[in-house]
């Protein structure tokens, strides 16, 4: 597949600039090769995962590892790994697409994600040539299952607080690792571990490539979890685990840097990885609502049910839009850096660092979208949704972990605001002058909209421009008020993060809808128009509430009143019939027997 090199963006730029639909990639843009990969993945799921779902959930001996091996046989474990190590050398966004499709498989999706992302990519990005040649082919083929050992009983979000130690042996040939890791996915089936430990009294972690056969490794029994019961999760104990010095990954003390970069991958992959599950739940809920008769009518004909289906749909549609937009921005940055002479590994690392803000957004938005969708799915199923006889119960339990791993939603919210502020201080993002412009605008007379614009999305673009002003106003004022102490104001950071996340989702959704309409040469209203209208209404409402909560927390008197007036101005939208719009969206999904109209295939 030939990639087109465009001038890449910088992470967080969406806050300060306006974009057109031709600047974004949407799920509908995937080419035939990528669609064939997705189709092969769907066939694999139907053939190898769904028929064995109960056995997987019960952790039948050898089954999960054998399913990963079969995925490896199809090339699904090495989508973006270079071909010389057995991979397919495809784009980052293609690997996002496969994570998306596999997202409907619950426990298998968790095992797959841990293996392909956090247990394989550290070697691809940070390993030397000898390490890559030795380990990547085994992981890409599925001959070996990989695991990633970072969390400990006293270090979760604060990863660098880990207590696991590594000490050089007397003969200088090995490191002896001692310590405990917990919540380790794939632990019980893994042949290979990436282990983080501090060498002697180092301040920062180092990373080690550990084979199970090295010895000195023991485990507790499988954790009894709320969900994803089919994935292996155990505590691991290292007791003088002897690791050859050549198995130090990258350089001494760079483990924390490796962990941060790999978490960016895990976060955006998780955002995409919920999509298959969301679509499956919507489709099953639509099917049930058409079959369930109450008061002599299928419940799919009731407005309350239609409202739920519409909201499940627009949030899933928005999640698709923001994930693939961010994934392609990462791909474009990789191509730009390659053109500048960097090698592929370094280009990918720097690209992920650049879009760490968007990765955090994808993680938070995706995990909370999945939670919303499965909760509404249970509700649509009513009493049957609470029964283990219907897949909703399992989906409900499986979804809950998504808001916790790869950094909790709370940590990611604070991180993304912190990254924006740091980039502002460094001069990488011009937040300050933009916020000052908005402050001046508050004292000016509002301009009237130009209703003569020919674009059917004109008012939606105007809404996005105003929502950016709302975010910049609150962010700028909070930064000015608290200065260097803003990191202590977690509640306000969370409010601002909510505003930023909703803005990015809303803009991504709008640009996707506009591109679809333009590509199809539609001149009149469409389902995409309705989805955009309803979502921007909800986003404006959420941004208004979060902004008000933030302003109430630190502003007062005339300053508060002025900013509240500005917030009302910037979150105002053109009125439309919300009920009828919601029903039209739901009717489209119901008529198509589920979330199929927007699928890539």
Question: Can you give the residue ranges of every domain in the chain?
Answer: 13-145, 148-252, 257-410, 417-591
Tokens representing 47 are: 């053939």
Q: SS3 for 80?
A: coil
- Burial environment of residue 143 by CB neighbours within 10 A (0 to 12, 13 to 18, 19 or more): middle
pLDDT of residue 598: 42
pLDDT of residue 525: 62
**Whether the model pTM is above 0.85:** yes
Q: Which residues, given as ranges, of the chain have pLDDT below 50? A: 1-5, 598-601
Query: Residue 165 is inside which H or E element, if any?
Result: strand 165-168
CATH number for the domain running over 148-252: 2.40.110.10
In degrees rounded to 5, what are phi and psi of residue 183? 60, 40
Closest residue by Cα to residue 8 from 342, 482, 450: 342
In whole angstroms, what is the distance from residue 287 CA to residue 285 CA?
5
Tokens representing 427 are: 């001069």
Q: Which fold has domain 13-145?
A: Butyryl-Coa Dehydrogenase, subunit A; domain 1 (1.10.540)
Give the pairing type, strands 297-298 and 293-294.
Answer: antiparallel
Neighbours of 227 (CB within 10 A): 19
The answer to whether domain 257-410 and domain 417-591 are alike in fold is: yes
pLDDT of residue 600: 33
Q: Which residues contact 341 (CB under 8 A, 6 or more apart)?
A: none
Neighbours of 273 (CB within 10 A): 32
Annotate 239-296 with DSSP letters as a single string.
Answer: EEEEEEGGGEESSTT-HHHHHHHHHHHHHHHHHHHTHHHHHHHHHHHHHHHHH-EETT
In degrees rounded to 5, what are phi and psi of residue 308? -65, -45
Closest residue by Cα to residue 346 from 210, 250, 412, 209: 250
Query: Residue 196 is inside which H or E element, if any?
Result: strand 192-199
Q: Does domain 417-591 sit in CATH 1.20.140.10? A: yes
In whole angstroms, what is the distance from residue 391 CA to residue 111 CA?
20
pLDDT of residue 448: 59
Tokens representing 128 are: 């030397």
Helix axes 356-381, 275-291, angle to 10 degrees: 20
pLDDT of residue 134: 98
Instruction: Check if the beta carbon of residue 271 is closer than 8 Å to that of residue 368.
Output: no
pLDDT tens-digit readout, 540-573: 999 999 999 999 999 999 999 999 999 999 999 9
Active site residue 406: yes
pLDDT of residue 154: 84
In degrees rounded to 5, what are phi and psi of residue 189? -115, 5
pLDDT of residue 522: 66
Tokens representing 284 are: 């099953």
Give the pairing type, strands 174-185 and 233-244.
Answer: antiparallel
pLDDT of residue 4: 45
The active-site residue, picked from 211, 376, 406, 514, is 406
In whole angstroms, what is the distance from residue 394 CA to residue 555 CA?
45
Share of the chain above pLDDT 90, in %: 89
Instruction: Check if the beta carbon of residue 85 is closer than 8 Å to that of residue 137.
Output: yes
C-alpha distances (whole Å) from 122 to each of 16, 192, 249, 306 are 33, 13, 8, 45
Tokens representing 48 are: 């190898």
Q: Which fold has domain 257-410?
A: Butyryl-CoA Dehydrogenase, subunit A; domain 3 (1.20.140)
């Amino acid at each position: 597949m030939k990639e087109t090199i465009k001038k890449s963006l910088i992470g967080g730029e969406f806050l300060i600039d306006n974009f057109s639909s031709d600047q974004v990639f949407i799920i509908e843009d995937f080419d035939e090769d990528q669609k064939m990969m997705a189709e092969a993945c769907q066939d694999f799921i139907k053939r190898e995962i769904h028929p064995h779902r109960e056995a997987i959930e019960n952790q039948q001996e050898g089954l999960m590892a054998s399913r990963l091996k079969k995925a490896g046989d199809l090339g699904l474990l090495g989508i973006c790994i270079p071909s010389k190590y057995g991979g397919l050398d495809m784009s980052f966004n293609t690997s996002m697409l496969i994570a998306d499709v596999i997202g409907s498989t619950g426990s298998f999706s968790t095992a797959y994600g841990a293996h392909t992302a956090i247990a394989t990519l550290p070697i691809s990005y940070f390993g030397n040539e000898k390490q890559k040649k030795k380990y990547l082919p085994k992981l890409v083929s599925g001959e070996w299952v990989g695991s990633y050992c970072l969390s400990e009983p006293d270090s979760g979000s604060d990863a660098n607080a880990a207590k696991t130690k590594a000490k050089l042996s007397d003969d200088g040939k090995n490191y002896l690792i001692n310590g405990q890791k917990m919540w380790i996915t794939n632990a019980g089936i893994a042949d290979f571990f990436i282990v983080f430990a501090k060498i002697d009294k180092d301040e920062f972690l180092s990373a080690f490539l550990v084979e199970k056969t090295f010895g000195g490794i023991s485990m507790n029994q499988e954790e009894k979890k709320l969900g994803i019961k089919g994935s292996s999760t155990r505590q691991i104990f290292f007791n003088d685990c002897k690791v050859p010095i050549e198995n130090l990954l990258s350089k001494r003390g760079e483990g924390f840097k490796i962990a941060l970069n790999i978490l960016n991958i895990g976060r955006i992959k998780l955002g995409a990885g919920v999509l298959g599950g969301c679509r499956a739940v919507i489709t099953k809920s639509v099917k049930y609502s058409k079959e369930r008769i109450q008061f002599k009518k299928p419940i799919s004909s009731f407005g309350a049910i239609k409202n739920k289906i519409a909201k499940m749909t627009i949030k899933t549609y928005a999640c698709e839009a923001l994930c693939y937009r961010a994934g392609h921005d990462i791909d474009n940055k990789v191509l730009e850096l390659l053109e500048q002479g960097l090698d592929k590994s370094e280009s990918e690392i720097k690209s992920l660092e650049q879009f760490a803000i968007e990765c955090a957004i994808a993680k938070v938005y995706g995990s909370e979208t999945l939670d919303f969708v499965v909760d509404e799915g249970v509700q649509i199923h009513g009493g049957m949704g609470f029964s283990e006889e219907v897949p909703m119960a399992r989906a409900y339990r499986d979804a809950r972990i998504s808001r916790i791993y790869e950094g909790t939603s709370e940590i990611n919210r604070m991180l993304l605001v912190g990254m924006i502020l740091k980039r502002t201080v460094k001069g990488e993002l011009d937040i300050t002058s933009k916020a000052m412009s908005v402050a001046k605008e508050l004292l000016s007379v509002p301009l009237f909209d130009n209703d003569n614009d020919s674009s059917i999305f004109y008012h939606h673009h105007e809404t996005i421009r105003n929502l950016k002003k709302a975010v910049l106003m609150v962010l700028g004022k909070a930064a000015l008020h608290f200065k260097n102490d803003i990191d202590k104001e977690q509640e306000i950071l969370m409010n601002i993060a909510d505003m930023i996340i909703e803005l990015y989702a809303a803009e991504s959704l709008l640009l996707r809808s506009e591109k679809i309409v333009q590509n199809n040469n539609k001149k009149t209203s469409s389902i995409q128009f309705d989805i955009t209208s309803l979502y921007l209404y909800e986003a404006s409402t959420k941004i208004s509430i979060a902004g008000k909560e933030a302003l109430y927390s630190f502003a007062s008197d005339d300053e508060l009143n002025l900013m509240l007036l500005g917030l009302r101005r910037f979150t105002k939208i053109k009125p439309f019939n919300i009920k009828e719009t919601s029903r039209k969206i739901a009717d489209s999904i119901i008529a198509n027997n589920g979330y199929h109209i927007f699928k890539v295939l």
